[in-house]
Amino acid sequence: MGRRQEIALGAAAGFTLIELLVVTVIMLLAYSLAAPMLSTGVSGAELKASARQLAAGLRKVRSEAILRKSEAALTIDVEQRQFMLSGDTRIYRLPAKIDFSLFTVQSGLVNDKVGSIRFYPDGGSTGGRVTLVQNGRKYQVDVDWMTGRVAILD
């Protein structure tokens, strides 16, 4: 009786080559489906980070306008994918993969590719919206004209 148990355990202890191949194919299929999802997650994070960077720049310009008691502006160059803050020599660049557009008042437009959102000493602004789009995902950075409040809308 002890011998029969040994044979039964010995036969069930290993995997066949076909079983190993089936498992390998399933793992490859799962990886091929998961990889694109992970890469869009990274680009989604990049899009959100860009929206936050732009919102932070707008908030900084608003604060400067209030503190210095003079107008300040954030100027956006849609074609070059960059923005500048008044009183700051740095140029902030946005990733090339992200499409964005600017909606602002007519007086804020320099030309068809460059425009600005201005802030006043009382905290108000000309208002506007910057829309950032990547792979169907969209963030809107809104500036309220009356209060100058900056908000990111998903």
Q: What is the tens place of the pLDDT at every residue in 72-86?
A: 999 999 889 999 999
Where residue 92 falls (left for φ over 0; alpha for ψ -120 to 50; beta otherwise) is beta
Task: Answer positive or negative: Cα dihedral of 121, 123, 124, 130.
Answer: positive
* 150 vs 57: CA distance, rounded Å: 10
The CATH number of whichever domain residue 82 belongs to comes to: 3.55.40.10
Which residues of the chain are modeled with pLDDT < 50? Answer: none
Q: Which domain holds residue 74?
A: 2-153
Overall number of domains in the chain? 1
Closest CA to 84 of 71, 73, 100: 73
Max Cα–Cα distance, the chain, nearest Å: 97
The whole-number pLDDT of residue 107 equals 77
The whole-number pLDDT of residue 36 equals 64
The CA-based dihedral angle spanning residues 29, 32, 34, 38, taken in that order and rounded to the nearest 10 degrees? 170
Closest CA to 132 of 104, 92, 96: 96
* 110 vs 79: CA distance, rounded Å: 13
